[in-house]
Chains A and B, each alone.
Chain A
Amino acid sequence: MAKLDGKRILACCANGAGSSLMMENAIKKVMKKYDIKPAELRHCPVSEGKSSARNYDVVFCAKPFAKTFEGCEQNGTVLLPLKNVMSDKEIEAALKEANLLD
């Protein structure tokens, strides 16, 4: 079983309509490549993600929003800020570095 199977993944950006959607698409690509079946993968605006982030196992956000999520890691959530939100390569590398890919 892949490490991320059954995990909950969230992608956040300012509005929850543009970059977070791009992130979600790019994350999907990586999930497909590694045959990972997360329990949940969704996107939302930072305003919502701020309070709900701790309910997720992995939270992706665009770099400028990383500060907003400080603290969620205390609950075991892995926060992965991205420079390029549509880069599946960067997502893959971030997951590898966090030791979340097999």
Chain B
Amino acid sequence: MASVLQTIVEKKHYRFIDGEGVTWQEAVRLSAESLVADGSVDEDYYKQIVACIEKYGPYVVFDHNVAMPHTTENAEGAHKTGIGFMVSEKLIDFGVDEDGEEKKANLFFTLSAASSEEHMDNIQQLSSIFMNDPLLDALAAARTPEDILEAEKNYPCEED
């Protein structure tokens, strides 16, 4: 079965931006654009994600400047399960979390969840990717879809 990174490349669910002067709200919108392009999500889907982060804080930004913007399963405007991948050359500022720690991201894995099983598998694979620091570094340096596949080849995740 294709890995999530292979699927991202196959479905063209990726985007590379410079990120200069981009707000986190704008970054979330941009990260979902590749999902909008093939009808995986509605154009306004990202607004639900933004509202959720505004309500709960930047808890979707993890260690190593990785963001996983998402809403609920079967959210309104989410038609297909998928991951909108985005690399920003500049770090995007998400403000501070509940401990006053600054949260920034340059890697985005924006989720749309329509099918439970597929989504579950995506999450499992993402967990492994998010714990794989060398892979995250290589992905942050990616500027083309080929770079994404190359990164995965060089730094594969261990199978559970």
Contact = CB atoms under 8 A, between A and B. Distances in A.
A25 B59 contact: no
A63 B99 contact: yes
Given A25-B123, A64-B98, A19 B72 contact: no
A22 B72 contact: no
Contacts of B113: 17
Chain A interface mostly? mixed
Contacts of B63: 84
Contacts of A80: none
Contacts of A85: 62
B144 interface: no
Interface in B51-70: 52, 55-57, 59-60, 62-63, 68, 70
A68 B142 CA distance: 39
- Classify chain A's interface size: 20 to 34
Given A15-B70, A17-B73, A18-B70, A86 B62 contact: yes
Contact of B57 (A17, A18, A64): A64
B70 A25 contact: no
Contact of B70 (A17, A29, A63, A65): A17
